[in-house]
């Protein structure tokens, strides 16, 4: 039996209220807010946090693979999943892959990962999805887009939601796109994109899944979709015979349209409350659709007891950007004066030599006095013993703030820079 064995999420701390966007450009504000990745965050860093939330207190040595799904990877030519696996301190022999170029990359990755588990080539695979899509200023999508990440683990043991059906379709349509040199997401006229694209394709894929799995709409406890907006979500749900209570909160007014991450993020939110025996429909969309059907098992109770912040925790932990201008600086939408003190350039050889310290956050324990310290140096700061250390993992440890400094001269697009000890 293959299915979901764990889940996690990450939502950035900052929110931008819709009224702040309206104040900058005029027009109706509407209710709600969107999540905004900090200036030092991107799809990779958010995916790492989602994986850490999934793993909790586990070291993850049993993980056989990690897949990253995103349309906004910072790299056009470099495997982001390899970096994520390294930072998560997984084994060096795990399989890694990037799924990109489509908003349904996350659901496609789930199908591929569960196929690997069923075939026996892997016993446990993590799928993490994240997006930081950028919409043109003053557009409707600028308000509706949001930044977030989520992760699920699929495997054979202790399955909390077993996969009981899946169906995929391909349907070429130019509705939403972003070319290599484009800064912003583009789209065709909304009515065409929604009615002839999204709604038609999703109805077909889900209808065929229902037929092949001998499942009716009334049997679905919660239906989870990628959807561009709340109206399109409600319309496609009605067309499939689903009732409003079968469609969970898709976080449009609290996080936003999170792109590739949306199906996994809403799925993680649903699993925080799911009960054994419930059937969950998960649908991804983009030049076709993936429709997946899961059934929650008795293992869900133990999975919920594991330490994680989850969607609920991240929704409760937030602060607001005080104005649109700060968001514009975060996204390089405005050019500002260069910092007086420029940031030093990174060194690839140094990063390679110190990757355990920098990526995995390993410190060192003195074998003479047992003092843990970071970063590594040859002489112990406690007993002054020389070259007598062992590595110790610090990424899953809690720390206490000793002191900090606020630097207004450092090269920082969102000054000041806060240095903590």
CA distance 227 to 239: 14
pLDDT for the residue numbered 413: 78
pLDDT for the residue numbered 114: 97
At 72, list the tokens: 């906004």
pTM of the full predicted structure? 0.94
**CA-based diameter of the chain, in Å?**
72
| Half-sphere exposure at residue 51, Cβ-oriented, CA atoms within 13 angstroms | 30
| Half-sphere exposure at residue 221, Cβ-oriented, CA atoms within 13 angstroms | 16
pLDDT for the residue numbered 340: 57
Q: 């489509």: which residue's tokens?
A: 102
Helices and strands per DSSP (H, E), number in the chain: 14, 19
Q: What is the pLDDT along the chain (421 residues), one digit of tens a residue?
A: 899 999 999 999 999 999 999 999 987 777 899 999 999 999 999 999 999 999 998 989 999 999 999 999 999 999 999 999 999 999 999 999 999 999 999 999 999 999 999 999 999 999 999 999 999 999 999 999 999 999 999 999 999 999 999 999 999 999 999 999 999 999 998 889 898 999 999 999 999 999 999 999 999 999 999 999 999 999 999 999 999 999 999 999 999 999 999 999 999 999 999 999 999 999 999 999 999 999 999 999 998 888 789 999 999 999 999 999 999 999 988 877 765 556 667 788 988 888 889 899 999 999 999 999 998 889 999 999 999 999 999 988 888 999 999 988 877 778 888 989 8
Per-residue b/e over 343-360, b at no fewer than 16 CB within 10 Å?
eeeeeeeeeeeeebbbbb
* Three-state SS letters, 87-133: HCCCCCCCEEEEECCCCCHHHHHHHHHHHHHHHCCCCEEEEEEEECC
CA distance 384 to 208: 70
CA distance 317 to 313: 6
Domain positions in the chain are 3-330, 348-420
pLDDT for the residue numbered 409: 81
**SS3 of residue 228 by DSSP:** coil
For Cα atoms 197, 200, 203, give the angle at the middle one, nearest 5 degrees: 135
Give the chain's radius of gyration (CA, Å): 22
Superfamily for the 3-330 domain: Thiolase/Chalcone synthase (3.40.47.10)
- Cα-based distances in Å from 188 to 2, 13, 173, 178, 195: 39, 32, 10, 12, 12
């Amino acid at each position: 039996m293959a299915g979901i064995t764990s889940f996690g999420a990450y939502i950035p701390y900052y929110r931008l209220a819709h009224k702040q966007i309206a104040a900058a450009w005029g027009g109706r504000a509407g209710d709600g807010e969107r999540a905004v990745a900090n200036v030092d965050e991107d799809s990779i860093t958010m995916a790492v946090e989602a994986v850490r939330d999934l793993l909790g207190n586990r070291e993850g040595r049993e993980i056989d693979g990690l897949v990253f799904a995103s349309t906004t990877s910072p790299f056009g030519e470099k495997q982001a999943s390899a970096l994520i696996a390294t930072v998560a301190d997984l084994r060096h022999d795990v399989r890694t892959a990037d799924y990109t170029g489509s908003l349904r990359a996350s659901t496609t990755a789930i199908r591929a990962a569960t196929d690997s588990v069923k075939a026996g080539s892997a016993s446990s695979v993590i799928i993490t999805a994240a997006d930081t899509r950028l919409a043109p200023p003053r557009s409707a999508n600028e308000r509706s887009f949001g930044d977030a990440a989520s992760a699920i683990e699929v495997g054979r043991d202790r399955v909390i939601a077993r996969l009981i059906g899946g169906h995929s379709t391909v349907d070429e349509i130019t509705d939403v796109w972003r070319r290599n040199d484009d800064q912003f997401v583009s789209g065709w006229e909304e009515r065409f994109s929604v009615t002839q694209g999204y709604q038609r394709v999703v109805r077909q894929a889900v209808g065929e899944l229902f037929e092949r799995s001998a499942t009716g709409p009334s049997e679905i406890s919660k239906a989870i979709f990628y959807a561009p907006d709340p109206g399109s979500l409600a319309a496609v749900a009605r067309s499939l015979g689903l009732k409003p209570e079968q469609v969970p909160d898709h976080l449009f007014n609290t996080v936003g349209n999170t792109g590739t991450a949306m199906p996994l993020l809403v799925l993680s939110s649903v699993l925080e409350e799911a009960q054994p025996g419930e059937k969950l429909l998960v649908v991804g969309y983009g030049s076709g659709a993936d429709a997946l059907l899961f059934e929650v098992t008795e293992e869900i109770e133990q999975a919920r007891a594991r330490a994680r912040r989850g969607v609920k925790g991240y929704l409760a932990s937030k602060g607001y950007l005080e104005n649109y201008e700060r968001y514009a600086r975060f996204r390089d939408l405005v050019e500002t004066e260069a910092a007086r003190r420029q940031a030093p350039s990174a060194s690839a050889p140094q990063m390679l030599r110190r990757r355990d310290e920098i990526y995995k956050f390993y410190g060192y324990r003195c074998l003479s006095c047992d003092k843990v310290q970071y970063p590594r140096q040859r002489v112990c700061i406690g007993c002054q013993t020389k070259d007598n250390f062992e590595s110790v993992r610090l990424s899953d440890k809690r720390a206490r703030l000793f002191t900090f400094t606020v630097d207004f001269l450092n090269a920082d697009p969102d000054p000041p820079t806060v240095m903590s000890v």
